[in-house]
Amino acid sequence: MRLKYQAGQVWTYRTRPGEKGSRLTIVKIEPYGGGTAVHVYISGVAIVNPAAPKGKSTFISHMPFTEEAIDKSVLQLVDQSEQLPRFEEGYATWKEQADQGKAGVFNVSVAEAIEGVAGAFKGNRRTANRR
């Protein structure tokens, strides 16, 4: 059986305003909660982050999504890379929390999840839906 998504795929997606050049890279796919978790690395974002160099994050190293959330977000496959971006640290943290039932996967669009992350950095307690 061939999977719809594969590690190394780079996609355009429905981005937040002003981030048209942003891309998502599939970094890992695995079974999760009766479905599939699609783990992605996001490049080309602009998130205010006091801890980041110059006060702004331009990438998110790891975000886990349902396959359905990826389906409603991606637009076009633009590349297939053998070299994955560095996501392992973020994934390991998520995996440890997920195994304890303390973390899930996003079931909203990629843009909505990024907005939730950006809001968290601003001190906004509203976060994106996770399952």
Query: What digits encode the pLDDT tens for the residues 42-73?
Result: 999 999 888 888 889 999 999 999 999 999 99
Each residue's pLDDT tens digit, 89-107: 999 999 999 999 999 999 9
CB contact set of 97 (below 8 Å; sequence gap of 6+): 103
Alpha carbon distance 6, 9 (integer Å): 6
Q: What is the value of pTM for the model shown? A: 0.89
